[in-house]
Amino acid sequence: MAKKASIYSAIAVIVVAGLFAGGYLLMNHRSQTECGFCQRHINPKAHVVAEVGGKRRNVCCAHCAVTEARQEKKPLRLIEVTDYLTGKMVSPEGAWFVEDSRVIACQHDMSKMDESKHAEQLAFDRCSPGTFAFSDRKAAEAFLAQNGGVLRSLPEVLAEAQLQ
């Protein structure tokens, strides 16, 4: 009888461990494809790894990370940013950022319903306008000439997180 109980206990432990491991893998994969702040799909051309208040997250764009840091009143650190043209992760220290362009980083339907189920105009979107990173200043300027916006350095982007 004790032998059967130990076998059932071992099976139960294995099942629980398997469920835990599966859940961990699922959440880890999800955290790389879904923004850690707004839960939108991460655009591969705008992906950022950011740290707000000491918590590291994969983020849909630098603007979303800036908004989070400003709302939470916590320090922001950009760890890696994606070069918009190549899709490769680069160091934010050498990157140039384009803000306020006509290009939208996060695609969504922008719809919002009021309590009587009528469509309302969205007044605030934490990700809009998007902020795009470029490893080359000339590439950022070419994007700027074509799509509008403002060219910023990393210190200028980080300073926006501190505005009250």
Say what the pLDDT of residue 111 is.
56
Q: Are residues 78 and 20 in the same domain?
A: no
Q: Are residues 45 and 26 in the same domain?
A: no
Strand 89-90 and strand 76-82: pairing? antiparallel
Burial 96-112 (b: 16+ CB within 10 A, else e): bbbbebebbbbeeeeee
pLDDT digits (tens, 9 = 90+) for 48-89: 999 999 999 999 899 989 989 998 999 999 999 999 999 999
Q: Are residues 7 and 50 in the same domain?
A: no
Q: Are residues 24 and 45 in the same domain?
A: no
Q: Are residues 94 and 151 in the same domain?
A: yes
Q: How many CB atoms lie within 10 A of CB 40?
A: 18
Q: Are residues 47 and 118 in the same domain?
A: yes
CB 15 within 8 A of CB 33: no
DSSP state for residue 34 in the 8-state scheme: B
Q: Are residues 49 and 127 in the same domain?
A: yes
Mean of pLDDT values over 92-105: 89
Q: Are residues 59 and 99 in the same domain?
A: yes
Mean of pLDDT values over 111-117: 61
CB 87 within 8 A of CB 135: no
Say what the pLDDT of residue 14 is.
81
Q: Are residues 108 and 87 in the same domain?
A: yes
Least Cα distance to 64 among 45, 25, 83, 36 occurs for 36
Strand 96-99 and strand 150-152: pairing? antiparallel
Q: Are residues 28 and 39 in the same domain?
A: no
Token pair of 137 as six digits: 């200043």
Whichever domain contains 103, its CATH number is 3.15.10
Question: What is the total count of domains within the chain?
Answer: 2
Give residue 63's domain range.
35-162
